[in-house]
Amino acid sequence: MASLQHSSAIKGAKVLMVGAGGIGCELLKTLALSGFQDIHIIDMDTIEVSNLNRQFLFRQSHVGQSKAKVARDAVLKFRPHISITPYHANVKDTFFNVDFLKQFSVVLNGLDNLDARRHVNRLCLAAEVPLVESGTTGFLGQVTVHVKGKTECYECQPKPAPKTYPVCTITSTPSKFVHCIVWAKDLLFTKLFGDKNQENDLNVRSSDASNSSEHAEDVFERRNNEDIEQYGRRIYDHVFGYNIELALSNKETWTNRRKPKPIYIRDVLPDKLSQQNGNADKSCATDDLSSGSAMTSLGLKNPQDVWSLAENSRVFLEALKLFFSSREKEVGNLSFDKDDQLAVEFVTAAANIRAASFGIPLHSLFEAKGIAGNIVHAVATTNAIVAGLIVIEAIKVLEKDADSYRMTYCLEHPSKKMLLMPVEPFEPNKSCCVCSESPLLLEINTLQAKLRDFVDKIVKAKLGMNSPLIMHGSTLLYEVGDDLEEDMEANYTANLEKVLFELPSSITGGTMLTVEDLQQEFTCNIHIKHREEFDEEKEPDGMVLFGWTQAPLEKKEDSKPAGNDVEISEGTEISGKKRKQPDMDVSTVSDESNNHNKVQKLNVVDDEDDDLIVLDHRDIGCSKNSLQ
Ligand SMILES: Nc1ncnc2c1ncn2[C@@H]1O[C@H](COP(=O)(O)OP(=O)(O)OP(=O)(O)O)[C@@H](O)[C@H]1O
Ligand SMILES: [Zn+2]
């Protein structure tokens, strides 16, 4: 029950909620029941069946409707006199600009992706509106408070980079099942069903063997009049047999490693499979209900079963056949989607066959899907706890009770019977390029890199800008916008294809660029350092951006580039301020020797393969995608 003081802060507040999913539904209900009277909700999604198990404001009949609107209607049923304004829209739409944000007392995020979170962070900084940010993954959760000038902003701490694997581990020396999954979905699936022109290391081996006429052609191209099953068998033999044979010929690779075993289809399945598959032929008919699933057509029912090598091989051939028959029009444009049953079946089978070859334990479709889609099953209770914590912090923010702000972590295992760990927020990071004006440093080959590379890899991917404007001194090099004159637009498009050095105002070592996003009202300066050599494995972008870490650049030559995980632990110096002890029974915390590891691990979850998975960047690369 809110105190009188709380209740006046709550009643007078105008709150913006972004995201009406797992956390958002809980949050809206808790806000309404806590006495908030004026709530605006932005969510761009419509309701899906898979949301119903935890997004309890939604029912089967709402599937396909706007989450924001249905959530409003559901809450108005038990709180009819409050005002709830829904927006079925992307928070990145220009309508939601800094002026829009300024009308709110506080913004509460219940989002599921880094991009939108960064965008809202910038809008809040520019509008000077406090932000309460949140995230959950399974049993783990966190709620943080961001108030301009008082606490760090959402981007003061570099976010852990999504797990990436060295290319050679994926293409040549997998040692874990996840490596086989990445190979199956990012290389093989893409090669067969996606954009053929995409660079793909899978093909390297076929062109290496230029002296063999069979392998000089593009083996992935289906030959004229080639039967789908023949094609599938040929691909199978190439990737699981021939390529492994070729890899084995490089003896050095295997001196300290277990050798893989080439697998050829003739050793696993009989020659004439189609006659043995029962209803497999039927499944190719587009009007057959089972045409979306190789499992169904092969009579494999339980997704939790681990298939034998022969079963995986059958699924492999059958799924490939279904793609080339029932879904032929999509072939060439597909990218792996965890919700595409046939794609998951194909990837599971291919990963398992590769795993069998490398002596790695096979996995069920259910497990493989979880790994391929980076899924951590959502826990509704975590969402409810996090929503409660958001409201508690929102009330403190409304009362301007800065001393009581806490970042709170939900732990998976209790530490001395406590599952929630509140910690005082950090002060703003003085080297944060978002909330302070600290310049960034970009090492780049100015004689080779094009402006387009800089825009795509740095300005959009790293800095998260939507509508960037790039200036060198008083020369505008690039701008986007609906109101650009045609000749200016042509000019900027031409600039994109120019090497940095050749731009109208040449970018060289020592140049200071200003990059600005007018919608986000976010500007940052980037100091350019010319560098010619980059490590292809470690620096695949061919450029490295420094300045997101708190380590002073000049002291540390090897300071980490943007996006690397920074381990937060008690006593870590952040902008000259030591992290304070958690606001709980400190003895409890400090005599638990691994306790701060728990704090460190809050941004990541260890999966069974010991790989790091990002808690709150679920939309980038191989980041975590929770079922909240
Ligand atoms: N840019 C954005 N603008 C508006 N809403 C967004 C934006 N990005 C994400 N959201 C919303 O944030 C919510 C996050 O909720 P949640 O994490 O539960 O995801 P979900 O899509 O409902 O479920 P899942 O992805 O786990 O199947 C979603 O409803 C999503 O539509
Ligand atoms: Zn910051």
Hey, what are 561's tokens? 């580039």
Instruction: Note the CATH architecture for domain 440-546.
Output: Roll (3.10)
The answer to whether residues 108 and 130 touch, using CB atoms and an 8 Å cutoff, is: no
Of 484, 467, 469, 562, the closest CA to residue 520 belongs to 467
Task: Please say whether the beta carbons of 258 and 358 come within 8 A.
Answer: yes
Are 43 and 88 in contact by the 8 Å Cβ rule? The answer is yes
Domain with CATH 3.40.50.720 in the chain: 4-160+377-423
pLDDT at 50: 81
Q: Tokens representing 402? A: 């800065």
Residues that place a CB less than 5 A from ion ligand 2: 153, 155-156, 432, 434-435
Mean pLDDT of 530-539: 89
- CATH 3.10.290.20 positions along the chain are 440-546
Alpha carbon nearest to ligand 1 atom 27, residue? 627
Q: Domain 4-160+377-423 classified CATH 3.40.50.720?
A: yes
Instruction: Count the alpha carbons within 13 Å of 94 in the hemisphere toward its beta carbon.
Output: 7
Residues of the chain with CATH 1.10.10.520: 167-207+220-270+289-373
From 43, 100, 339, 627, mutation site for ligand 1 pocket: most ligand atoms within 8 A of C-beta: 43
CA of 244 to the centre of ligand 1 (A): 42
**Token digits of residue 107:** 């913004």
Is residue 21 within 6 Å of ligand 1 at its C-beta?
A: yes
Query: Measured in angstroms, how far is the CA atom of residue 43 from the centroid of ligand 1?
Result: 7
Distance 91 CA to ligand 1 centre (A): 11
Give the pLDDT confidence score for residue 448 in this predicted structure: 95
Asked: is 167-207+220-270+289-373 a CATH 1.10.10.520 domain? The reply is yes
- Please give the pLDDT value at position 274: 53
Instruction: Name the more confident of 445 and 414.
Output: 445
Q: Which ligand is nearest to the CA of 136?
A: 1
Q: What is the pLDDT of residues 585-609, one digit of tens each?
A: 222 223 333 333 333 222 322 333 3
Cα 125–Cα 127–Cα 131 angle in degrees, nearest 5 = 55
Is residue 309's pLDDT more than 60?
A: yes
On the question of pLDDT at 558 being above 80, the answer is no
How many Å apart are CA 279 and CA 270, to the nearest integer?
17
* Alpha carbons within 13 A on the beta-carbon side of 56: 11
- The closest ligand to the CA of 379 turns out to be 1
Is 67 a pocket residue for ligand 1 (Cβ < 6 Å)?
yes
Q: Known binding site: residues?
A: 19-24, 43, 51-54, 67, 112-117, 153, 156, 432, 435
Structure tokens at 369: 């899907």
Q: Provide the token pair at 458.
A: 């740095």
Structure tokens at 297: 């057509």
pLDDT averaged over every residue in the chain: 82
Give the Cα-Cα-Cα angle 566, 536, 492 (nearest 5 degrees). Answer: 90
* Range with the poorest average pLDDT among 32-46, 302-316, 454-468, 568-582: 568-582
Distance, in Å, from the CA atom of 83 to the CA atom of 72, rounded to the nearest integer, reads: 9
Catalytic residues: 168
Residue 181 has pLDDT above 60, yes or no: yes
Looking at the DSSP bridge assignments, the partners of residue 146 are 131
Q: pLDDT tens digits, residue range 112-161?
A: 989 999 999 999 999 999 999 999 999 999 999 999 999 999 999 887 76
Burial (Cβ within 10 Å: 0-12, 13-18, ≥19) of residue 115: middle
Q: How many Å lie between the centroid of ligand 1 and the Cα of residue 112? A: 5
